[in-house]
Amino acid sequence: MDFEATLAHMERAESRVSYHVLIAPDGTRATLVRDEHVAWHAGVSSFLGREHCNAFLIGVSFAGDTRASPLTDAQIDSALEWLAPRWSLYGWTTRVMTDHRQIAPGRKDDLAPDEWTRLLTAITARFPIGT
C-alpha cells in the first residue's frame, strides 16, 4: 500500500492496526499514536522474554512493500531522524531494536529480511554504543 492508502486504512476503526509512526518513501512521517500510548502493531508477540509487545514497544511502519521495492534512502534517513531524540530519552540500544519477524515469528513478516538488516546497519552506524 502507498502512504496515503496506508494512512486511510489505519484511520478506519475496523482496521484494528496502528503504529506510532508511518514513514513514506519520500521520508514524510505521519505520527499516528503518541509514544506514551499503545499502538496495535504487534498482535500476539514476545520479545526479550516479555509478551504483549504492543504494551512496551514503539511501532514504526514503512509505507510500501519492501519485498517489491527496497526502503528508500529517504525512509531510512527519516527513521534515523525520528529515532534520534528518543535514543537517549528512552535509553535505547540496538539490543532493543527488533522487527515483526522476531517478535511474531511465522505470523508477521512485513519488512523484508534484507531491508531489516539494512535498517539495523544504519541504526548501528548512527547510534554507536554509548551514544
What is the per-residue pLDDT across 31-57, written as a single tens digit (0 to 9) for each? Answer: 989 999 999 888 899 999 999 999 999
pLDDT band for position 13 (50/70/90)? low
Instruction: Name the more confident of 114 and 130.
Output: 114
What are the two backbone dihedrals, phi and then psi, of residue 104, each rounded to the nearest 5 degrees?
-140, 60
CA–CA gap between residue 123 and residue 120 (Å, rounded): 5
Q: Which of 2.60.120.620, 3.30.360.10, 3.40.80.10, 3.20.20.10 is the CATH number of 3-125?
A: 3.40.80.10
Q: What is the pLDDT of residue 14?
A: 65
DSSP state of 107: T
Total-model pTM: 0.87
Q: What is the pLDDT of residue 86?
A: 96
Q: Domain locations in the chain?
A: 3-125
CA–CA gap between residue 37 and residue 27 (Å, rounded): 23
pLDDT tens-digit series, residues 56-95: 999 999 998 888 999 999 999 999 999 999 999 999 999 9
- Judge whether 38 and 78 are in contact, CB under 8 Å: no
* Mean pLDDT score of the chain: 89
Q: What is the CA radius of gyration of the chain?
A: 14
Q: Which cell numbers in the block locate residue 126? A: 548512527
